[in-house]
């Protein structure tokens, strides 16, 4: 168990935050130094997050490594940190992906360096890596926060660096030329920000409502998750049914925008399409996970009754997400937008698992978050390497790549197969669990959702076929294969996909007790034919 003396969670978040400042301060001419500084900080964060993960005791207290300080008393805001199994795994996933994101985006800021004249103050490379570290710090804090308001602050604040990453360092490969690319980029960045900000502000209203409710019934308003749960358990805090439902909707709306759930997903294809591949990975594999994670931690725990009330509607929306995302992915002509719609489909599965309210479903959903993070990162980053070689993201511009660049094509295939949940690769385990969980409570929805797998096979294999097989197209002919730096990015991700596909037990063991806690919060037990519910 945790020795409470060393605030490891704070340090895990403070390290990338400090790294952002240090990286930003590196002089303009020392671009390489900036890159290595940022990478070093992200690796340090990874080490800390792994230490947390390995020292986490699944059978111990629900929240471990806890830290409690009052931040702003008048607002009931506490600096409360703590991780359950789910949180620890998500922090580790974030810390794991960031170094790969950085390595893959090693030269992403370079085009910006040249367009301006000599300017001591204009340092895009430093800015790019500092922003990534800033996002990492805020994401880590939102996974660790056990105070609703603290969570909200970082949930909102992370939009700003993310916004600059999308709008400032977006993809320059565009059919309409530089001018059009610039316009699309700002459009995508603004759309991303407005959707998420609107969601966040609705949540703010709910957060204030929660404060007003606790202040009225407990005397002093509080946002500390544990205080609120204790007060509910002891009956001191008793939210009226309608209040609870409104508050739930306020929270859920924000998370559903972030996750994203159909019909609030439309910002994602723009944002992922217009940003560079590493930033797209940051969006879908890291930042968006905060949305689904928060559903588990905050929606279900704070508003169990309302969650049960809303479950049928949310399940239907999730199934629509699964199918709609997959169908639109089939129809895409742009590689990155295709992956974005595939992600919409996958987030549908995650939400399906969460609200199935079974232990398989929720364990599956948590594993899904991890596996989706890794598999999408692999697929998207390889796609990014592919796109940067050709200077186009249109599927039609590719063909026969596997003859010219076999390693690239091979890794792309593995990433794709992971995305379609091929057995033996990690996502299969989680998708299977989610579907089992959903089926045991909502058989009809479970069956419909399986269609998503069929469609996934379609969009992935057609993508592979059109880009990699067939005759070598003109622009593809001189394409180089993966370089050493790119192999360093791809190989570990693929290794992890294989490992977790064959042996998911380590992650599952950490996650399962936390899932049980969450389920008992909503007073749900698994339906009769329980597979692994040992209590």
- Residues engaged in binding another protein (CB under 8 A): 71-75, 115-116, 119, 121-123, 152-154, 156-157, 159-160, 163-164, 167-168, 182, 185-186, 189-190, 193-194, 197-198, 201-202, 204-205, 208-209, 211-212, 215-216, 221
Q: Is 84 left (phi over 0), alpha (psi -120 to 50) or beta?
A: beta
Q: Considering beta carbons, is residue 157 or 488 the nearer one to another protein? A: 157
82 neighbors 64 (Cβ within 8 angstroms):
yes
User: Is the bond preceding 263 in cis, omega lying within 30 degrees of 0?
Assistant: yes
Number of other residues whose CB lies within 10 A of the CB of residue 422: 18
Q: Tell the smallest beta-carbon distance from residue 295 to another protein (Å).
A: 20
441 neighbors 527 (Cβ within 8 angstroms):
yes
CA atoms within 13 A on the CB side of 176: 9
CA distance 107 to 117: 19
Q: Considering beta carbons, is residue 21 or 215 the nearer one to another protein? A: 215
Q: Tell the smallest beta-carbon distance from residue 381 to another protein (Å).
A: 24
Q: Tell the smallest beta-carbon distance from residue 83 to another protein (Å).
A: 22
Q: Considering beta carbons, is residue 189 or 382 the nearer one to another protein? A: 189
Q: Considering beta carbons, is residue 197 or 330 the nearer one to another protein? A: 197
Q: Tell the smallest beta-carbon distance from residue 258 to another protein (Å).
A: 15
158 neighbors 287 (Cβ within 8 angstroms):
yes
Q: Tell the smallest beta-carbon distance from residue 114 to another protein (Å).
A: 12
Number of other residues whose CB lies within 10 A of the CB of residue 215: 13
Q: Considering beta carbons, is residue 263 or 406 the nearer one to another protein? A: 263
Q: For residue 121, what are the contacts with CB-CB under 8 A and spacing of at least 6?
A: 28
C-alpha Rg value of the chain to the nearest Å: 22
Q: Tell the smallest beta-carbon distance from residue 247 to another protein (Å).
A: 11
Q: Considering beta carbons, is residue 149 or 368 the nearer one to another protein? A: 149
CA distance 361 to 60: 23
Q: Considering beta carbons, is residue 92 or 130 the nearer one to another protein? A: 130
Q: What is the 3-state secondary structure (H, E, C) of 402-465?
A: HHHCHHHHHHHHHHHHHHCCCCCCHHHHHHHHHHHHHHHHCHHHHHHHHHHHHHHHHHHHHHHH
User: Is the bond preceding 422 in cis, omega lying within 30 degrees of 0?
Assistant: no
User: Is the bond preceding 483 in cis, omega lying within 30 degrees of 0?
Assistant: no
308 neighbors 372 (Cβ within 8 angstroms):
no
52 neighbors 90 (Cβ within 8 angstroms):
no
Residue 122: phi, psi to the nearest 5? -90, 105
479 neighbors 404 (Cβ within 8 angstroms):
yes
State the DSSP string of 360-413: HHHHHHHHHHHHHHHHHHHHHHHHHHHHHHHT--BGGG---HHHH-HHHHHHHH
Q: Tell the smallest beta-carbon distance from residue 156 to another protein (Å).
A: 5
Q: Considering beta carbons, is residue 59 or 119 the nearer one to another protein? A: 119
Q: Considering beta carbons, is residue 115 or 474 the nearer one to another protein? A: 115
Overall residue count recorded for the chain in this entry: 535
Q: Tell the smallest beta-carbon distance from residue 162 to another protein (Å).
A: 12
Q: Tell the smallest beta-carbon distance from residue 153 to another protein (Å).
A: 4
| CA dihedral angle for residue 91, residue 93, residue 96, residue 102, rounded to 10 degrees | -90
State the DSSP string of 155-175: HHHTHHHHHHHHHHSB----T
DSSP type of residue 397: G
Q: Tell the smallest beta-carbon distance from residue 335 to another protein (Å).
A: 24
Q: Tell the smallest beta-carbon distance from residue 25 to another protein (Å).
A: 13
Q: Considering beta carbons, is residue 136 or 156 the nearer one to another protein? A: 156
229 neighbors 148 (Cβ within 8 angstroms):
no
Taking Cα atoms as reference points, which of 349, 426, 418 lies closest to residue 89?
426
| CA dihedral angle for residue 374, residue 133, residue 162, residue 510, rounded to 10 degrees | 40
Q: Tell the smallest beta-carbon distance from residue 197 to another protein (Å).
A: 5
Q: Tell the smallest beta-carbon distance from residue 122 to another protein (Å).
A: 6
Q: Considering beta carbons, is residue 196 or 375 the nearer one to another protein? A: 196
Q: Considering beta carbons, is residue 202 or 448 the nearer one to another protein? A: 202
464 neighbors 415 (Cβ within 8 angstroms):
no
Q: Considering beta carbons, is residue 255 or 459 the nearer one to another protein? A: 255
């Amino acid at each position: 168990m945790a020795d409470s003396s060393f605030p490891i969670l704070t340090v895990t978040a403070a390290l990338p935050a400090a790294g952002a400042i240090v990286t930003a301060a590196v002089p303009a001419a020392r671009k390489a130094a900036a890159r290595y500084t940022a990478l070093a900080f992200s690796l340090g964060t990874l080490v800390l997050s792994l230490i947390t993960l390995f020292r986490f005791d699944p059978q111990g207290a629900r929240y471990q490594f806890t830290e409690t300080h009052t931040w702003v008393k008048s607002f009931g805001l506490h600096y409360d940190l703590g991780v359950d199994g789910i949180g620890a795994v998500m922090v580790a996933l974030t810390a794991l992906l960031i170094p790969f994101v950085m390595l893959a985006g090693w030269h992403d800021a370079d085009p910006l360096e040249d367009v301006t004249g000599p300017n001591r103050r204009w340092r895009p490379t430093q800015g790019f890596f500092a922003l990534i570290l800033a996002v990492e710090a805020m994401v880590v804090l939102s996974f660790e926060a056990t105070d609703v308001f603290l969570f909200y602050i970082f949930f909102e604040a992370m939009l700003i660096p993310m916004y600059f990453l999308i709008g400032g360092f977006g993809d320059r490969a565009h059919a309409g030329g530089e001018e059009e690319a610039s316009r699309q980029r700002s459009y995508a960045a603004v759309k991303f920000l407005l959707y998420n900000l609107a969601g966040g502000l609705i949540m703010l209203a709910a957060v204030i409502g929660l404060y007003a409710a606790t202040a009225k019934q407990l005397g002093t308003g509080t946002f500390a998750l544990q205080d609120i749960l204790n007060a509910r358990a002891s009956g001191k805090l008793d939210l009226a049914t309608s209040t609870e439902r409104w508050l739930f909707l306020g929270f859920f709306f924000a998370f559903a925008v972030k996750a994203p759930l159909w019909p609030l997903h439309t910002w994602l294809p723009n944002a992922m399409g217009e940003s560079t591949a590493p930033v797209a990975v940051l969006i879908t594999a890291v930042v968006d996970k905060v949305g689904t994670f928060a559903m588990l931690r905050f929606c279900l725990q704070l508003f169990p009754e309302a969650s049960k009330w809303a479950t049928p509607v949310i399940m239907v929306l999730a199934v629509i997400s699964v199918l709609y995302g997959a169908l639109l992915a089939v129809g895409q002509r742009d590689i990155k937008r295709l992956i974005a719609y595939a992600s919409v489909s996958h987030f549908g599965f995650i939400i399906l698992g969460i609200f199935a309210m079974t232990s398989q479903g929720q364990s599956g959903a948590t594993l899904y978050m991890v596996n989706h993070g890794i598999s999408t990162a692999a697929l998207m980053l390889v796609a990014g390497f592919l796109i940067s070689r050709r200077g186009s993201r249109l599927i039609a511009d590719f063909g026969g790549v596997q003859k010219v660049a076999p390693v690239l094509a091979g890794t792309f295939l593995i990433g794709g197969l992971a995305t379609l949940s091929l057995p033996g690769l990690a996502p299969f385990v989680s998708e299977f669990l989610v579907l089992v969980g959903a089926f045991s409570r909502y058989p009809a929805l479970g069956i419909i959702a399986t269609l998503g797998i069929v469609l996934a096979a379609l969009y992935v294999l057609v993508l592979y076929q059109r880009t990699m097989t067939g005759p070598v197209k003109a622009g593809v002919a001189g394409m180089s294969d993966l370089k050493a730096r790119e192999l360093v990015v791809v190989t570990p991700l693929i290794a992890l996909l294989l490992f977790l596909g064959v042996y998911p037990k380590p992650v599952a063991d950490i996650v399962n007790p936390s899932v049980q806690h969450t389920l008992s919060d909503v007073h749900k037990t698994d339906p009769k034919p329980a597979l692994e519910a040992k209590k």
